[in-house]
């Protein structure tokens, strides 16, 4: 899991997801984006099975419950974490509606947020 001490010094954190071990159901107090750079991975997000393939992006808001299946030797998933509690998908959606923010991805993506947000 992500070291809280390390996150306390960075507002954005980029890392390679660990392989060969699954991650049990958990949630975070930050926005997390998983990008499947190579290979594939199965996740369970808010009770929904998600299969990530090369080029897939999974965007999860603060408090989103998820688990991550084991990645294998040739799988490479990148985690992008926004450690600013003021950043959420609702914030980004409001910003987008004001036409001051544009978000473009050339890959398919999914995002999840909790009802409490």
pLDDT in tens, 48-90: 999 999 999 898 888 889 999 999 999 999 998 887 666 555 6
SS3 assignment for 79-93: EEEECCCCCCHHHHH
Q: What is the predicted pLDDT for the residue at 90?
A: 61
Q: Tally Cβ neighbours within 10 Å of residue 2.
A: 14
- Answer yes or no: pTM beyond 0.85: no
* Window from 10-19, 38-47, 67-76 with minimum mean pLDDT: 10-19
> Averaged over 14-29, what is the pLDDT?
91
Q: Once rounded to an integer, what is the mean pLDDT over residues 18-40?
A: 92
Selection from 95, 22, 87 nearest residue 61 by Cα:
87
Q: Give the model's pLDDT for residue 87.
A: 59
**CATH assignment of 4-98+108-112, among 1.10.10.10, 3.40.50.300, 3.20.20.70, 2.60.120.10:** 2.60.120.10
């Amino acid at each position: 899991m992500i070291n809280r001490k390390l996150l306390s010094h960075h507002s954005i954190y980029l890392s390679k997801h660990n392989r060969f071990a699954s991650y049990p159901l958990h949630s975070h107090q930050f926005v997390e984006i998983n990008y499947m750079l190579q290979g594939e991975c199965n996740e369970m997000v808010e009770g929904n099975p998600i299969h990530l393939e090369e080029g897939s992006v999974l965007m999860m808001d603060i408090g989103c419950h998820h688990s991550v299946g084991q990645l294998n030797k040739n799988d490479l998933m990148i985690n992008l974490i926004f450690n600013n509690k003021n950043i959420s998908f609702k914030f980004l959606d409001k910003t987008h509606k004001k036409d001051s923010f544009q978000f473009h991805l050339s890959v398919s993506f999914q995002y999840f947020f909790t009802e409490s947000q």
